[in-house]
Amino acid sequence: MLSFIVRRLGFMVLTLILASLLIFAATQILPGDVATMVLGRFATEQALDNFRGEMGLNRSLVVQYGDWLFSFVQGDWGESLSTRADVRDLVLERLRNSAMLALVAFVMYVPLGIVLGVVAAIRRNSWVDHVISVGSLAFIGLPEFVTGLLLIAVFALRLDWFPSSSAIPPDAAFFDRHTLERLVLPALTISLVSLAYIARMTRSSTVEVLGMDYVRTAYLKGLSRSRVIGRHVLRNALLPTVTVVAIGIGWLIGGLIVTESLFGFPGIGRLLLFGIQRRDLPLIQATTMVIVVIFTMANLLADILYGYLNPRIRFR
Amino acid sequence: MGMNFNRRRRRLSTVVVLGGVLVVLLSLLVLGCGGDEDDTAATDETTEVTSAEGDTESTEGDMAAVERGGVVSIGAQPATNLDPHFSTSIADIMLNHQRFDWLVELDQENQIQPGIAESWESNEDGTVWTFTLREGVTFNDGSPLTAEDVAYSFDRLRDPDVGSPVVSLYEGVSEISALDDTTVEFTLSSSNPEFPAFTADYHSAIVNSEVEDLTAPGGGAGSGPFVLDSYSPEDRASLVAAESYWKEGEDGEPLPYLEGLEFIFSPDLGGQVEALRGGELDFVGGLTTELVDTVEADEALQLLKVTSNMHYVLHMRADGDNPAADENVREALKLGTDHQQLVDAVRPGLAEVGNGFTPVGPSYGDYYLEQPPQRDVETAQQLLADAGYGDGLEITLTAQQALDVPAIATVWAEQMAEIGVTVNIETVPVDVYYGDGEQSWLEVPFGITEWGARAVPVNYFQLAYAPNGDYNESHWESQEMADLTQQISNELDRDKRVDLYHQAQQLMIEEAPIIVPYFEAGLAGAAAELNGVELATDWARTIFTNAYMAAAQ
Amino acid sequence: MATTTETTTGRGSRNVLEIEGLSVAYRTEEGDIFPVRDVSLTIGKGESFGLVGESGSGKSTLAMGAIRYLPANGRVTAGRVLLSGRDLLSLSGKEMRSVWGSRVAVVYQSPGNALNPSIRTGNQIAEVARIHLGMSKQEAHQRMLEMLEKVKMPDPESVARRYPHQLSGGMLQRCVVAQAMVTNPELLILDEPTTALDVTTQAVVLDLVAELKQEFDSAILYITHDLGVVARVCDRVGVMYAGEFMEQGAIRHLFKRPLHPYTLNLLGCVPHFSLGPRRKTLNTIPGFIPRLDELPEGCIFAPRCSLAEPECRVAQPPLVRAGEDHLTACRRWPVVPTPAEHMDTITADLMQARGEAENRLLEARDVKKYYPVPAQGPFRKDKRKVKSVDGMTIWIDEGRTLGLVGESGSGKTTMARTIIGLVEPTEGTISLRGEVLGPTTRSRTRDVLRRIQMVFQNPDASLNPRQTVGQSIGRPLALFGTPRGEIPGRVLELLEAVHLSPSYYRRLPSELSGGEKQRVAIARAFAAEPDLILCDEPIASLDVSVQGSLMNLLTTLQAEKGTSYLFISHDLSAVQHLSDWVCVAYLGCAMEWGDAGDVLNPPYHPYTEALLSAIPIPDPDVIQKNIRLEGSVPSAVDIPPGCRFHTRCPRFIGDICVEEEPPWREGEGDHWIYCHHTFETLVEMQKETLRLADHDHGSPGVEVQV
Amino acid sequence: MSASVDTATATPVPTRRSRGETLRLYGRRLLRQPIATVGTVVFIIFLLMALFGPWIAPYGFEEQSIPDRLQSPTLQHPFGTDNFGRDVFSRIVVGARGIFLLGGTGTILAVMMGTTVGLISGYFGGLLDEILMRLLDVLLSIPSLLLALVLLGTVGPSLLNLILVVAVLYIPMIARVVRSVVLDLKTKEFVEAARIRGERDSYVLFREILPNALPPLLVEASMRFSYSIFLVASLGFLGLGVQPPSPDWGLQINEARNYLESAPWMLAFPALAISLLVVGTNLMSDGLRRVLQPGREDS
The pLDDT score that the predictor gives to residue B306 is 82
Nearest in space to B175 (alpha carbons), one of B154, B205, B197: B154
- Whether C635 and C580 share a structural domain: yes
What residues 76-115 of chain C have any CB closer than 8 A to a CB of chain B? Answer: 77
Tell whether B1 is within 8 A of chain C (Cβ): no
Contact of D62 with chain B, judged by CB distance below 8 Å, is answered with yes
Neighbours of chain A (3+ CB pairs under 8 A): B, C, D
Angle at B532 between CA B530 and CA B537, to 5 degrees: 105
Distance of alpha carbon C217 from alpha carbon C210, whole angstroms? 11
**pLDDT > 90 in chain C, percent:** 14
Rounded distance between C-alpha atoms, residue A98 and residue B538, angstroms: 37
Tell whether C523 and C541 lie within a shared domain.
no
Provide the domain limits for residue C383: 352-433+531-706
Show which of residues 106-145 on chain D sit within 8 Å of chain A, judged by CB atoms. 134-135, 137-139, 141-145
Distance CA B521, CA B524 (A): 10
How far apart CA A140 and CA D297 sit, in angstroms, is 18
| pLDDT-based confidence at residue D11 (cuts at 50, 70, 90) | very low
Name beta bridge partners: C18.
C42, C82
Of residues C541 and B56, the one with the higher pLDDT is C541
Q: Is residue C506 domain-shared with residue C569, that is, in the same domain?
A: no
Q: Pick from B10, B33, B269, B338 the residue to mutate for testing the D interface (most D CBs within 10 Å).
A: B33
Residue C80: inside a domain, yes or no? no
Domain match, C548 and C693 both: yes
List, in sequence order, the alpha helices (H) in A172-233: 177-210, 213-220, 225-227
**Are C588 and C643 in the same domain?**
yes
Mean pLDDT for D80-98 is: 81
Q: C131 and A221 in contact by Cβ < 8 A?
A: yes
Distance CA B115, CA B133 (A): 9
Q: Which of B39, B409, B410 sits opposite D261 (nearest CB)?
A: B39
- Sorted by sequence, the CB contacts under 8 Å of residue C106 that are 6+ apart come out as A217, A220, C63, C67, C69, C180, C188, C189, C190, C191
Question: Is there a contact between B304 and B533 (Cβ–Cβ < 8 Å)?
Answer: yes
| Contact residues on chain B for D263, CB-CB shorter than 8 A | 36, 290
C660 and C536 inside one domain: yes
Query: What is the residue-averaged pLDDT of chain C?
Result: 83
B78 neighbors B431 (Cβ within 8 angstroms) = yes
Query: What CA–CA distance (Å, rounded) separates C673 from C602?
Result: 12
The count of CB pairs under 8 A between chains C and D is: 119
Give the helix/strand (H/E) hosting A30: none
- The answer to whether position C41 is within a domain reads no
| Inter-chain CB proximity D35 and B32 less than 8 Å | no
Q: Which chains form contacts with chain D, at 3 or more CB pairs under 8 Å?
A: A, B, C
Q: Residue D288 contacts by C-beta under 8 Å, 6 or more apart in sequence?
A: D36, D218, D219, D222
Query: Which of C179, C194, C220 represents a domain boundary (last residue)?
Result: C179
User: Is C681 part of a structural domain of the chain?
Assistant: yes
Domain membership flag for residue C105 = no
CB-nearest to B413 from D69, D245, D257 is D245
Q: Which residue, C488, C514, C530, sits at the end of a domain?
A: C530
Closest C-chain CA to A223? C97
- CATH classification of the domain holding C416: 3.40.50.300
Distance from CA of A167 to the nearest CA of D (A): 18
> Is the pLDDT at C89 greater than 80, yes or no?
yes
Distant-in-sequence contacts of A84-92, Cβ < 8 A, 24+ apart: A84/B215, A85/B233, A87/A282, A87/A283, A87/A286, A88/A286, A90/A271, A90/A283, A90/B233, A91/A268, A91/A271, A91/A283, A91/A286, A91/A287, A91/A290
Distance between CA C208 and CA C172 in Å, rounded?
Answer: 13
pLDDT beyond 60 at D194: yes
Answer whether residue D280 shows pLDDT above 50. Answer: yes
Taking each helix axis from N to C terminus, what angle separates A61-74 and A2-24, rounded to the nearest 10 degrees? Answer: 130
Same domain, C554 and C507: no
Q: CB contact, 8 Å: C688 with chain B?
A: no
Q: Which residue from B minimizes the CA distance to C73? A: B6
How many alpha carbons lie under 13 Å from residue D184 in its C-beta half-sphere?
A: 11
- Final residue before a domain boundary, out of C530, C565, C586: C530
Domains delineated in chain A? 2-74 (no CATH), 87-314 (1.10.3720.10)
Cβ of residue D134 closer than 8 Å to a chain C Cβ: no
ipTM score assigned to the predicted complex: 0.74
Note whether C704 and C604 are same-domain residues: yes
| Contact D18/A at CB under 8 A | no
User: Is the CB of residue B233 less than 8 Å from the CB of residue B81?
Assistant: no
Q: Which residues of B touch A282 (CB under 8 A)?
A: none
Which residue of chain A comes nearest to C183, CA vs CA?
A: A221
Residue C347 pLDDT > 90, yes or no?
Answer: no
The answer to whether C40 and C57 have CB atoms below 8 angstroms apart is no
For residue D192, the chain C residues in CB contact (below 8 A) are 422, 454, 456
Residue in A with minimal Cα distance to D152: A276
Distance from the Cα of B426 to chain D's closest Cα (Å) equals 6
- Asked whether residue C584 falls in the same domain as residue C666, the answer is yes
Would the pLDDT of C379 be above 60?
no
Using an 8 Å CB-CB cutoff, list chain D residues near C475.
Answer: 194, 197
Q: Is there a contact between D274 and A141 if contact means CB atoms under 8 Å apart? A: yes
Q: What is the pLDDT along chain B (553 residues), one digit of tens a residue?
A: 333 333 333 333 444 444 444 444 444 444 444 433 333 333 333 333 333 333 334 444 444 567 788 889 999 888 877 888 888 778 888 999 999 999 898 877 777 888 888 888 888 888 888 999 888 888 888 888 888 888 999 888 888 777 777 777 788 888 888 888 889 988 988 888 888 888 888 888 898 888 888 888 887 888 889 999 888 887 888 999 888 888 888 777 888 888 899 998 887 788 888 888 888 889 998 887 778 888 888 888 888 888 788 889 998 888 878 888 888 888 888 888 898 888 888 888 788 888 889 888 888 878 888 888 888 888 888 888 888 888 888 888 888 877 778 888 888 988 888 888 888 887 777 767 877 677 788 888 899 988 877 778 888 888 888 887 778 888 888 888 888 888 887 777 778 888 888 898 888 888 888 899 898 888 899 988 888 888 887 788 888 888 888 864 4
Specify the 3-state DSSP secondary structure of C455. strand
Q: Report the SS3 class of residue B315.
A: strand
Q: Do B234 and A274 touch (CB under 8 A)?
A: yes
* Cross-chain residue pair B3–C27, CB shorter than 8 Å: yes
**The pLDDT of residue D155:** 73
Does the beta carbon of D267 lie under 8 angstroms from any beta carbon of chain B? yes
Q: Are residues C557 and C684 in the same domain?
A: yes
Q: Does residue C357 share a domain with residue C334?
A: no
C587 belongs to a structural domain: yes
Shortest alpha-carbon distance between residue C33 and chain B (Å): 11
β-strands B173-180, B183-188: how paired?
A: antiparallel
Number of Cβ atoms within 10 Å of the Cβ of D268? 29
- Report CB contact under 8 Å: A309, C118: yes
Residue of C116, C132, C181, C380 best to disrupt the A interface, most CBs of A under 10 A:
C116
Quote the longest CA-to-CA distance of chain B.
113
Chain B residues at the D interface, defined by Cβ less than 8 Å, are 14, 17-18, 21, 25, 28-29, 31-33, 35-36, 39-40, 43, 268-271, 273-274, 288, 290-291, 293-294, 297, 341, 344-345, 399, 401, 406-407, 409-411, 413-414, 417, 424-427, 429
Minimum distance, in Å, between the CA of residue D281 and any CA atom of chain B: 13
Contact C402, C558 (CB under 8 A): no
* C332 and C360 co-located in one domain: no
Nearest to B302, CA basis, from B17, B30, B9, B553 = B553
Q: Does a structural domain hold residue C7?
A: no
What are the chain B neighbours of A83 within 8 Å (beta carbons)? 233-234
Residue C1's pLDDT band (cuts 50, 70, 90): very low
**B49: helix, strand or coil:** helix
Give mean pLDDT, residues C116-140.
Answer: 89
pTM: 0.76
Q: How many domains does chain C have?
A: 4
The per-residue pLDDT for C525 is 92
Strand bridging mode C187-191 / C219-224 = parallel
- Please give the residue of chain C at the shortest CA–CA distance from A126: C72
Residue A86: closest CA among chain B residues belongs to which residue?
A: B233
In angstroms, the CA C420 to CA C396 distance is 14
Q: Which residues pair with B397 in a beta bridge?
A: B425
User: Which band of pLDDT confidence, cut at 50, 70 and 90, is reported for residue C584?
Assistant: very high
Residue D4: closest C-alpha in chain A:
A211
> Quick check: is C21 in a domain?
no
Determine, for residues D70 and B406 on separate chains, whether the beta-carbon distance falls below 8 Å: no
Q: For residue C360, list its beta bridge partners.
A: C397
Evaluate whether residue C112 is within a structural domain.
no
Cα C440 to Cα A94: distance, rounded to the nearest angstrom? 59
Interface membership of C72 toward A (CB under 8 Å): yes
Q: Which residues of C touch A224 (CB under 8 A)?
A: 97
